[in-house]
Amino acid sequence: MLTKRQNLLETIHGGNPDRFVNQYEFLHILMSDPYNLTDPFPEYGQKNIVNAWGVTLSWPEGTPGAFPVHDAGHKVLEDIGEWRERVKAPNLIFSDAEWEEAVREAESVDRNELFLAPFIAPGIFERLHYLMGMEDALINFYEEPEEMKELIKYLTEWELQYAETLCSRLHPDALFHHDDWGSQISTFISPDMFEEFLLDSYKEIYGYYKSHGVQLIVHHSDSYAATLVPFMIEMGVDIWQGVMTENNITELIRKYGGQISFMGGINSASVDHPGWTREEVKTQVTRACREYGKYYYIPSASQGLPMSTFEGVYEALTEEIAAAGKEMF
pLDDT tens digits, 88-133: 999 999 999 999 999 999 999 999 999 999 999 999 999 999 999 9
Give me the pLDDT at residue 87, please: 97
Average of per-residue pLDDT values in the chain: 97
In a domain, 63, yes or no: no
Number of domains comprising the chain: 1
Give me the pLDDT at residue 61, please: 86
Beta bridge partners of 57: 49, 68
In a domain, 56, yes or no: no
Give me the pLDDT at residue 286, please: 98
Tell whether the model's pLDDT for residue 64 goes beyond 90.
no
Give me the pLDDT at residue 47, please: 92
Beta bridge partners of 27: 115
Q: What is the CATH number of the domain that holds 168?
A: 3.20.20.210
Torsion of CA 311, 304, 154, 152, to 10 degrees: -120
In a domain, 115, yes or no: yes
Mean pLDDT (whole number) for 301-324: 96
Give me the pLDDT at residue 177, please: 98
Lowest mean pLDDT among 58-67, 150-159, 248-257, 265-274: 58-67
d(Cα 113, Cα 2) in Å, to the nearest integer?
9
Domain of 273 in residue numbering reads as: 4-39+75-328
Tell whether the model's pLDDT for residue 72 goes beyond 90.
no
* pLDDT tier at 63, thresholds 50, 70, 90: confident
Cβ-based neighbour number of residue 33 at 10 Å: 26
In a domain, 304, yes or no: yes
In a domain, 53, yes or no: no
- Name the DSSP class of 114: -
In a domain, 66, yes or no: no
Give me the pLDDT at residue 73, please: 86
d(Cα 279, Cα 6) in Å, to the nearest integer?
31
Residues 99, 75 contacting (CB under 8 angstroms): no
Give me the pLDDT at residue 62, please: 78
pLDDT digits (tens, 9 = 90+) for 287-304: 999 999 999 999 999 999
In a domain, 241, yes or no: yes
